[in-house]
């Protein structure tokens, strides 16, 4: 079973492999931008997005969907000033924190992941601090970023010290799963499937568990991440085979 520390470790690995792609490199961006102009989006917001980058794995660049552009637009709206650092330079722990403080959801998740795993962006040990991790995940989750929704959901589902809120965790998982955006959405589907397969049958549904496990397989194939989501795919296949 994948716990929040393992997810945090994956997020850090992702951060080291990912690079910043300029918007001009991403298929579909120009069409999305034209629609935003027609919808009346202020020029300054779209110009900010034009000048921004998306932090992606190389294999994800050709599969970016409009939801991802919307997340970046939300990021641009939230930022109060332009980044004075070269966006193509490798990020470090201090830079990630500055970007998080300026309102970047992706970097807020990276900072939160560091506090959950006890390892910062540079690979240095730091104290585990769940409260600070939760703060940054709450900030990022407001933008609908799937990785933030998933990680915050796991904290609320498993929260120690009386901080559990399973119903809110379910809402976060549902929102993240429905974005159908790479590994974080798959992980949200897994959590929902487990809840519906094992919890009180008067409140939760085995049929919903099957639906969410099927979504795991669909998202993995659609996003081309079958290898990366191997453990989740195996769990989904095993459950669906037994549920026939």
Share of the chain above pLDDT 90, in %: 31
Mean pLDDT in residue range 130-157: 92
Mean pLDDT in residue range 213-232: 84
pLDDT for 43 beyond 70: yes
Q: What does pLDDT average to over the chain? A: 81
Higher pLDDT, 142 or 67: 142
**For residue 19, what is the enclosing H or E element?**
strand 19-22
Is 198 in contact with 243 (CB distance < 8 Å)? no
Mean pLDDT in residue range 206-229: 85
pLDDT for 139 beyond 50: yes
**Global pTM exceeds 0.85:** no
**For residue 20, what is the enclosing H or E element?**
strand 19-22
Mean pLDDT in residue range 83-87: 46
> What pLDDT, on a 0 to 100 scale, did the predictor assign at position 100?
86
> What pLDDT, on a 0 to 100 scale, did the predictor assign at position 164?
86
pLDDT for 162 beyond 60: no
Count of Cβ atoms closer than 10 Å to residue 84 Cβ: 6
Count of Cβ atoms closer than 10 Å to residue 170 Cβ: 20
pLDDT for 67 beyond 60: yes
Please report the domains of the chain, with CATH numbers, ordered by start residue.
1-142 (no CATH), 144-244 (1.25.40.10)
Mean pLDDT in residue range 27-39: 87
Band of pLDDT at residue 82, cut at 50, 70 and 90:
very low
Query: Sign (positive/negative) of CA torsion 199, 205, 206, 209?
Result: negative
């Amino acid at each position: 079973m994948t716990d929040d520390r393992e997810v945090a470790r994956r997020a850090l690995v992702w951060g080291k492999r990912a690079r910043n792609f300029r918007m001009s490199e991403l298929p579909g961006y120009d069409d999305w931008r034209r629609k935003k102009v027609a919808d009346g989006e202020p020029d300054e917001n779209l110009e900010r997005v034009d000048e921004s980058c998306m932090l992606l794995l190389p294999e994800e660049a050709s599969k970016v969907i409009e939801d991802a552009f919307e997340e970046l637009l939300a990021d641009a709206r939230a930022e109060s000033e332009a980044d004075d650092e070269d966006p193509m330079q490798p990020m470090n722990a201090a830079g990630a924190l500055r970007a998080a403080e300026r309102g970047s959801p992706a970097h807020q998740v990276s900072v939160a992941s560091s506090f959950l795993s006890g390892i910062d962006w540079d690979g240095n040990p730091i104290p585990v601090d769940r409260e600070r991790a939760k703060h940054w995940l709450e900030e990022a989750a407001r933008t609908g970023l799937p990785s933030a929704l998933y990680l915050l959901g796991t904290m609320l589902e498993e929260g120690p010290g009386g901080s559990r809120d399973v119903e809110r965790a379910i809402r976060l998982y549902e929102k993240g799963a429905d974005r159908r955006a790479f590994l974080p959405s798959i992980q949200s589907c897994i959590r929902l499937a487990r809840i519906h397969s094992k919890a009180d049958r008067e409140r939760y549904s085995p049929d919903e568990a099957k639906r969410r496990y099927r979504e795991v397989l669909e998202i993995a194939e659609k996003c081309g991440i079958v290898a990366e989501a191997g453990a989740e795919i195996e769990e989904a296949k095993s459950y669906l085979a037994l549920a026939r």
